[in-house]
Amino acid sequence: MSDLVLWGAGGHGKVVLDVARALGGFGAVSFIDDAEEVSGREFCGCQVCGASRYLQSLKGQGCSQYLVAIGKNELRAACFQRALDRGLLPATLVHPSAVISESARLEEGTVVMANVAINAGARIGKNCIVNTAAVVEHDCRVGDHVHLSPGVLLGGGVTVHSFAHVGIGAIALPGAEIGEGATVGAGAVVLDSVPARTSVVGIPARVIARASR
């Protein structure tokens, strides 16, 4: 029975821990975190083993699976790669209440929260967060390091490119496309496309900001 280490002892980490506990099948579950105020202490009944430098010793102790429990996409991606480079194996966690089609595919390092539906032919990339009660309809394509927030609804055939963040309760109509690194505000409705590295809000979604790079 493999142990599991969660990187990030914060609010998101609590929810990921609940998924791991609901699944069972792990030995010890522990955390790592660079914040001095939590390092070496207990968090939600689990030991915070130390800062990220502790990664080097995890594999030797038999703790070979990890999941990065950090909400910010860019930081989560960097941590995901650091742990992978040190020989740890990414876990993929799916809450027992989630409904996942047999023809859907989830890549490594992704966490799927309670009451999610991922339907036929959908593809979810590496190191993604599919948060509570999100719906990913048939034939959607979700890239790596994406965060689909609670209550997000993606219609059939939607494409969400890597590093995008879709806010709470946002909707993307069938066939819509959300560009790389884009942010869709809470409750927004995407009718067709969102350019890469922009922020959109409203109904219908409109651009309010563009990244400088």
Specify the CATH number of the domain 94-207.
2.160.10.10
For residue range 140-170, list pLDDT tens digits in order.
999 999 999 999 999 999 999 999 999 999 9
Q: Which of 12, 95, 138, 145 is catalytic?
A: 138
Model confidence band, residue 63 (pLDDT cutoffs 50, 70, 90): low
Whether 12 is catalytic: no
Indicate if the pLDDT at residue 60 is higher than 60: no
pLDDT attached to residue 36: 74
Q: Is 11 or 52 the better-scoring residue by pLDDT?
A: 11
DSSP assignment letter at 53: G
> Domain boundaries in the chain?
4-91, 94-207
Q: CATH fold of 4-91, please?
A: Rossmann fold (3.40.50)
Q: Which of 157, 175, 179 is nearest to 166 (CA)?
A: 179
DSSP H helix total and E strand total for the chain: 3, 26
pTM of the full predicted structure? 0.94
Indicate if the pLDDT at residue 61 is higher than 70: no
Whether the Cβ atoms of residue 83 and residue 53 lie closer than 8 Å to each other: no
Using alpha carbons, list the distances in angstroms from residue 135 to 26, 112, 131, 172. Answer: 27, 11, 9, 11
pLDDT attached to residue 88: 86
pLDDT attached to residue 189: 98
Indicate if the pLDDT at residue 196 is higher than 80: yes
Indicate if the pLDDT at residue 34 is higher than 90: no
